[in-house]
Amino acid sequence: MKEMSRVVVVGLLILGLSGLDGVRAESIREQDVRDAIVKVYTVHNPPDYYNPWLMRGTQQSSGSGAIIDGRRILTNGHVVRDQTFIQVRRHGESRRHRARVLFVSHQADLAILTVDDPDFFEGVEPLAFGELPDTQEEVMVYGFPVGGDTMSMTKGVVSRVEHQSYIHSSVNMLAGQIDAAINPGNSGGPVIQDGRIVGVVMQSLRQAENIGYFVPVPIIEHFLTDIESGERDGIPGLGVVLQNLENPDMRRFYQMDEDKTGVLVIGIIPGSAAEGHIQEDDVLLTVAGHPVGDDGTVEFRSRERTSVSYFIQKRQLGDTIPVGVLRDGERISLDISLNYPMDKDWLIPLDAYDVLPTYYIYGGAVFVPLTMNLFKAWGPNWFNAAPKDWVAMLQHNVVTEERDEVVVLLKVLAADVNQGYHGESHWIIDRVDGHPVRNLEEMIELVERGAGEEFVVFESPAGRKMVLDREKAKKEHPDILRVYRVPQDRSDDLTAL
């Protein structure tokens, strides 16, 4: 009995030593990862889209990041949005270092920072990148969430990998879902598997518990490849509007055999990559050799599906992609050059950062393009709070031959010239002097080239009119700008007009 006990004890000691070696190796790997984690301190100064010549004032926030090769720090785009001052602090240190942005992709919610002080990167092993983790695999999230000042590590499981809406940009792209605790301050922190970066934490789902999302490594690698040239080109788009083909009668109408799957093309964006190649009423059958499902999805890994955009967004701007379409019952193969960035699709541009708003003032009337930034001036509940006719335009938010920008009368700066219109606001401007308005630049041209006419007439889609006397508007113009402390009658991007 004693001998058996001794064997057991010896066996336990051997197992224990082996286990300790594993724990020690794991601890070393974790320590190496910790050394590369940084806290990011940002001062933001976002513009005021309801008073587009003003800024909203400085705000402060913090996030996380990771040191990668090339003396660079990888973090989220939203961590450094509208930044005026950035500092970073390494894990375990007290000193903050001044940092600057090298590149940012607000669409992909990613940014690259650097620190000019060479001491900052001394002795740090940059983190490398791993592979996209499979579902049900464990990962670690590193960062500096609220609740303390030191670094936090949480473990989680990858539960989904599919297209999701990125809150920062409103763009649908590939994202990973994890059940690790993610809180404010975690943003920009790396998702680690086997000591390598497989994602960057970006957002959590407020309506649920322990559902967070990360930018997965394929999106990160696309961004890093894009900026190798020293410039960021962006993410390509095909420029088509699609409709699912799940109804059997609709499939028969478009001559779809039982062995075929695909989605119907119901619109082509003017100037897009698809223009001149794909036609309305084509059925998109394959993208990059991968069959498209009747629900608009593709299989990107065995038994895992996501949006058909996946294989397009994997390409770099300027790459060529093969697609297969069914046209009048005939299968056609096309090679399309992806020379068109997907952010040009939108009639109402999605969220923009690090840029100043566009505006134009005439006779005290303030005109601006309709953008998601302007919608969000109504707060988190903007969908219900913003003007209903504006929100309705989001139902078909793509540019057309007739209009590539929605111009709105934001408000009226009260003056004698605009008496009777002081309470008017939020009009969509459809016509000026009877001419359709394509965009704000064209509206300005219509207003200013008609200087020989006595009146200028602005008209809404509902037929409401604002008539201003040109001579009075010109005479009162300097006083209106002075009284309302507006530095100039148009934003810098319009000064050449």
Can you tell me the distance from the alpha carbon of 290 to that of 324, in angstroms, rounded to the nearest whole number?
Answer: 9
Buried/exposed 426-448: b ≥16 CB within 10 Å, e otherwise: ebbbbbbeeeebbebbbbbebbe
Using alpha carbons, select from 73, 76, 86 the residue that is nearest to residue 121.
73
Give the three-state DSSP class for 496: coil
Residue 7 to residues 12, 18, 19, 333, Cα–Cα distance (Å) = 8, 16, 18, 71
Q: By the 8 A CB rule, do 273 and 309 touch?
A: no
Main-chain dihedrals φ then ψ at residue 35, nearest 5 degrees:
-60, -25
Which residues are CB-contacts of 192 (< 8 A; sequence separation ≥ 6)?
Answer: 33, 127, 139, 140, 141, 142, 198
Using alpha carbons, select from 413, 427, 415 the residue that is nearest to residue 466.
427
Q: Give 81's Cβ-side CA count (13 Å radius).
A: 21
Can you tell me the distance from the alpha carbon of 110 to that of 228, in angstroms, rounded to the nearest whole number?
Answer: 15
Strands (E), 166-258: 172-178, 190-193, 196-204, 212-216, 240-243
Can you tell me the distance from the alpha carbon of 140 to that of 63, in angstroms, rounded to the nearest whole number?
Answer: 17
Residue 322 to residues 277, 303, 311, 319, Cα–Cα distance (Å) = 11, 23, 10, 10
According to DSSP, the residues that pair with 444 across neighbouring strands are none
Please identify which of the residues 64, 105, 152, 187 carries the catalytic annotation: 187
Buried/exposed 11-39: b ≥16 CB within 10 Å, e otherwise: eeeeeeeeeeeeeeeeeeeeeebebbbbb
Using DSSP bridges, classify how beta strands 290-291 and 297-301 pair: parallel, antiparallel or unpaired. unpaired
Please identify which of the residues 44, 78, 163, 222 carries the catalytic annotation: 78
Can you tell me the distance from the alpha carbon of 374 to that of 267, in angstroms, rounded to the nearest whole number?
Answer: 27
Give the three-state DSSP class for 63: strand
Determine whether 194 is an active site residue: no
Using alpha carbons, select from 40, 37, 89 the residue that is nearest to residue 66.
37
Determine whether 345 is an active site residue: no
Using DSSP bridges, classify how beta strands 138-143 and 190-193 pair: parallel, antiparallel or unpaired. antiparallel
Torsion angle defined by CA atoms of residues 206, 208, 210 and 215, in that order, rounded to the nearest 10 degrees: -60
Please identify which of the residues 64, 82, 105, 109 carries the catalytic annotation: 109
Determine whether 78 is an active site residue: yes
Residues carrying an active site annotation:
78, 109, 187
